[in-house]
Copies of this chain bind each other. A is one copy, B any other.
Amino acid sequence: VKGPELDLLITGAEILDVFRLRAFQGWLGIRGGRFIYVEPGEPPRGVPTRHTVEACGALITPGLIDAHMHIESTLLSPRRFAEGALPHGTTCVLADPHEIASVAGEEGIRWMMQAAAGLSLRVYFAIPSCVPPTSARLETTGAEVTAELVRKLAGASEVIALGEVMDYRGLVAGDERLRGIIGAAASHGLLIEGHVPSLLGTELSEYLSYGITSDHTLMRPEKILELVGKGAALMLQLKSLAPENIAAVLDLPDRSRVMLVTDDVDPARLRTEGHLSSIVKAAMARGVPWEEAFSMATLRPATYLGLRRMGAIAPGWTADFLVLEGPGLFPPRTVYVGGRKVAEEGELIAPVGSPGPPLPSNLCYDRFVPEDFLVKLDLQECLANVVSVQSEDNTLTDLERVPVRLKGGRVVLGPEDDLALIAVFSRDGSSRSTGVVKDLGLKRGAFASTFSHDAHNLLVVGRSPEAMALAASRACEGGGGIAVADEGGVIAHLPLPIAGILTDAPLDAVASSFNQIEDSLRRFGMRHARPFLLLSTLTLSVSPRYKFSDKGVVDVEARRLIPPFINP
């Protein structure tokens, strides 16, 4: 053993080798933020080192790397997200700041990059590609990402990808704007992240032929085989970890392009279940050998992302690693980034950075009254184009024509019809639309949120104009937020002052408010496993199959608008 003194010597460890998918008993030497020695057995006597740790047989794995995620889904600023994710073992993410870009454009993206700089968590960036989500003018959006902006941002060293190309129908139809954006990203050597929930065969090929390098949407076995065989990197999020999908993946003779990702994680799940760790655990619980599951969350994403010498315990590789009691035992005993201990027993051991500069909200609303939720149709009966929820664990929707009665613009909701009012108000006050949704389970009260995918216009869903006005008024206080109310008043509230979609409050407080919001919605009858996810994606105009915007009902596959009510 030669060379200068080590910074850290770890002995008696069980070391995960993600290349050979095995663990072995051995020791590690670390210097200058990198592993120098990764050896079996015991170190030779007298290795010069500043510190020594006896691991007592604990498992050492690489830090977890999340190749597809949106920090905004936690409703937290980057530093608060890092405070939540690092203690659970996530040491590196590719963040697609899609939500903040939708609200605040270039200023929002730059804010996110600035707020993430210098954190212990390694944050790489994808430039959001679909802001607005489509070129089809299906909603009012607050910002635009252009090819020119992609070229401006692509030079930054932390930018390594173009964010998910969600407008798959637009791209297959040859959308010029999107092709320009992809061309700009490709010419800078960026990865081009995909999002392709519903294409197969020649249409899938047409989509991928633009240079798309991955997909992370809901999988099923045939889709897995086709995506892999057509060269797309396969990203499995929680909802894709069905037994039949796991079986299909484990049958692949080469799984080097398969990885686990979080995509969206709400603050309550981040606090109680962890971050990418929870996906690793879920994969293990569903039959993925633990060494495979870790490789899919360490080496394989690092390889995909082109992050050289990251994602493994090997000489010369970055010393980002976890000390665990055993394969699935999260949170880790300790978390190291660049050879420095950053978290211990589920807690950060030092603050992770600054909140970032202020980023005010552009929401133009103040107070709402019940009249804001009346339908401007001078009719007593009509047919409504109703968006109906299809499942209690995914966000798929359909369209139904339902006869409704109107009384002075007020939609009459019956006790057993499982209908609710939905209203979307554009952030700039220029546009609004009111309609009906079905099969939420909501029996009373109202929900309002200035965080609603992707344009983050104000979304209000409820059983009465009175409750909706109360919820909407509170949600808009201080620039934005989420609120639940019944006719008697506001029941739960989470302020989101940063651009109206994020907060710099600590995770514990945010998770607690978030739980109150979801618990209230469940008390009001909602059956969905994740009420906020379901509601906040009712406005997502690129997610199958029917959504609601400030301009009416959106037919996602056809990329067109449908009026909420049919005026006979």
Contact = CB atoms under 8 A, between A and B. Distances in A.
A426 B191 CA distance: 49
Interface string A158-195: 00000000000000111000000000000001010000
A354 interface: no
Contacts of A231: 19, 309, 312, 314-317
Contacts of A38: 205, 229-230
A255 interface: yes
A251 to B, nearest CB: 9
A256 B296 CA distance: 13
A400 B184 CA distance: 64
Interface in A383-397: none
A36 interface: yes
A285 interface: no
Contacts of A306: 306
A209 interface: yes
Nearest to A174: B3
Interface size range of chain A in the complex: 35 or more
B316 A229 contact: no
Contact of A21 (B2, B254, B295, B308): B254
Contacts of A534: none
B253 A256 contact: no
A174 B207 CA distance: 50
Nearest to A257: B19
B2 A174 contact: yes
A213 interface: yes
Nearest to A173: B2
A206 B17 contact: no
Given A314-B208, A314-B231, A252 B37 contact: no
B212 A316 contact: yes
Nearest to A205: B315
A350 interface: no
Nearest to A36: B209
User: Which of A206, A208, A213, A254 has the most B CB atoms < 10 Å from its CB?
Assistant: A254
A209 B315 contact: yes
A211 B36 CA distance: 10
Given A2-B172, A211-B316, A228 B37 contact: no
Contact of A253 (B20, B211, B312, B315): B20
Contacts of A252: 20
A339 to B, nearest CB: 13
A254 B19 CA distance: 7
Contact of A230 (B210, B253, B314): B314
Interface in A35-59: 35-39, 44
A316 B209 CA distance: 4
Contact of A254 (B20, B34, B229, B315): B20
A114 interface: no
A205 B26 CA distance: 14
Given A19-B257, A20-B254, A315-B231, A37 B202 contact: yes
A255 B303 CA distance: 14
B211 A309 contact: yes
A225 interface: yes
Contact of A229 (B20, B34, B37, B173): B20
A342 B19 CA distance: 38
Interface string A19-36: 111000000000000111
Contacts of A173: 2
Nearest to A37: B205
A316 B210 CA distance: 6
A205 B3 CA distance: 12
Contacts of A558: none
Contacts of A317: 231
A201 interface: yes
Interface string A538-565: 0000000000000000000000000000
A5 B317 CA distance: 47
Contacts of A206: 2-3, 36-37, 315
User: Which of A202, A207, A212 has the most B CB atoms < 10 Å from its CB?
Assistant: A202
Interface of A: 1-3, 17, 19-21, 34-39, 44, 172-174, 189, 191, 201-202, 204-213, 225, 228-231, 252-257, 295, 303, 306, 308-309, 312, 314-317
Given A2-B206, A35-B209, A36-B205, 19 more contacts: A3-B174, A19-B228, A19-B231, A20-B252, A21-B253, A36-B209, A37-B206, A37-B209, A38-B229, A44-B202, A210-B316, A213-B308, A229-B314, A230-B314, A230-B315, A231-B312, A231-B317, A254-B255, A303-B303
14 contacts: A3-B174, A3-B206, A19-B231, A20-B254, A21-B253, A35-B209, A36-B206, A36-B209, A38-B230, A206-B315, A229-B314, A230-B314, A231-B309, A254-B255
7 smallest CB-CB distances across A and B, nearest first, come from: A231-B314, A256-B256, A205-B315, A208-B315, A209-B316, A209-B315, A36-B209
